[in-house]
Copies of this chain bind each other. A is one copy, B any other.
Amino acid sequence: MQIKEFQNMMRRLYFHRDSERGTDGTLDWLVEEVEELREALKGDDIKAIENEFADVFAWLASLANIVNIDLEKAALQKYDNKCPKCGLSPCDCPF
């Protein structure tokens, strides 16, 4: 699936509620989901780990919808098959 399609799917599913919750509230949920991912990664339940990766990605896409950012465009502007710091692919920079 295209990154853009996933973001659009999140918009169809959740935009109304996401926009009511607002930017700060959605950011707080994103942070919470990263912490849930950290907890899942302490165990070895692959399904739980996959679910938490899915949730972090979903909340990131939701947040992008609220603030009207195209996640795919943003990602490719910065990471177009090369490191944005050293310009090389694969990256061999010291950063």
A residues at B contact (CB < 8 Å): 1-3, 6, 9-10, 12-14, 16-17, 23, 27, 30-31, 34, 37-38, 41, 46, 49-51, 53-58, 60, 63-64, 67, 69, 71-79, 81-83, 89-91
* Smallest beta-carbon distance A25→chain B, Å: 12
Q: Is the CB of A50 within 8 A of B38?
A: no
Given the interface pairs A41-B27, A50-B69, A64-B53, the reply to whether A78 lies near B58 with Cβ below 8 Å is yes
Across the interface, A67 reaches (CB within 8 A) one of B12, B17, B49, namely: B49
Determine the distance from Cα of A10 to Cα of B37 in the docked complex, in whole angstroms. Answer: 19
Q: What are the residues of chain B within 8 A of A58 when measuring CB–CB? A: 75, 78-79
Q: Are B79 and A13 in contact (CB under 8 A)?
A: yes
What's the nearest-Cβ distance from chain B to residue A88, in Å?
A: 8
Contact residue among B30, B51, B75 (Cβ-Cβ distance under 8 Å from A78): B51
